[in-house]
Amino acid sequence: MSREWLEVTSLKEATAVQRLIAARVETANRIGPSPRVAGADVSMKWRDTRGPVHAAIAPVDGAAGTLTAIPAFPYVPGYLGFREAPVLAAAWDAMADKPGLILVDGQGRAHPRRAGVACQLGVMLDVPTIGCAKSLLCGVVEGAIGPAAGDRAPVIDRGELVAMALRTRPRAAPIYVSIGHRIALDTAIDWVMRLSEGRRLPLPIRLAHDAANATRRAYEATATHQIS
DNA sequence: GCGACAG
DNA sequence: ATCTTGTCGC
């Protein structure tokens, strides 16, 4: 896998890498029979765009892989993957039983260059991924979404279907599901609905969020890092 | 040029 | 991206 992306530090390089990623994303199903499903998310200090990132990959059926690191990249809209994906990949490396499908907190193809963090992590790890975002980075929702769980509306960016706005919980705000890697959009939506269980966010995302937060709290409880 | 901008 | 109590609506 191409992990020389860990070295990327300039926006110009990052943009070029995103074009490579977009070209390598597979939009057809290539998932195992009964994949172990996991969520991926990170936690960090409020409004800290350059500090430590606490990453977690949390399987539904086992212990989460977690890791803390200070990425070379700050948070820049459109380049989230260069801050989060390297740390998530390191957490992945530490896991014994690798998941076969990852729901990522962020966009997949619903990205200006079709290379959101879910695409980047999926291509980097060579694993099927789904992008699950709570708000849009680009594109517009085409039409209205019904109030019931499962109701949806396409998200169009520059004439292209890049995501589905999906009502996972009745009357709650929709989430935006997009292809990460090696999965079709309709299949991704099926997985997200099945894993949401009447909540707004699918279970694996919630588990990863909790695990990442726990990792950050353990890190901050150590007085050695309280400088600045 | 201006505004918008996942986490 | 975080933190917190109560409060409101299904």
Relative to beta strand A37-43, strand A101-105 is parallel
**B6 C1' – A33 CA distance, angstroms?**
30
Q: Which residues of A are annotated as a binding site?
A: 41, 105
Q: Which nucleotides of B are covered by protein (CB under 7 A)?
A: 5-7
Fold of A4-222: archaeoglobus fulgidus dsm 4304 fold (3.30.2170)
List the binding residues of A for Mg(2+): 41, 105
Q: What separation in angstroms does the CA of A59 have from each of A146, A180, A200, A206?
A: 31, 17, 19, 11
pLDDT of residue A226: 66
Residue A127 in contact with residue A120, Cβ under 8 Å?
Answer: no
Does the pTM exceed 0.85?
Answer: yes
- List chain A domain ranges: 4-222
Q: Is the CB of A44 under 7 A from strand B?
A: yes
Q: What's the rounded Cα separation, in Å, for the pair A181 and A30?
A: 9
Evaluate if the CB of A135 falls below 7 Å from strand C.
Answer: no
Name the nt closest to A47 by C-alpha to C1'.
Answer: C1
Q: Is the CB of A70 under 7 A from strand C?
A: no
Query: Could you say which residues of chain A have pLDDT below 70?
Result: 1-2, 4, 6, 223, 225-228
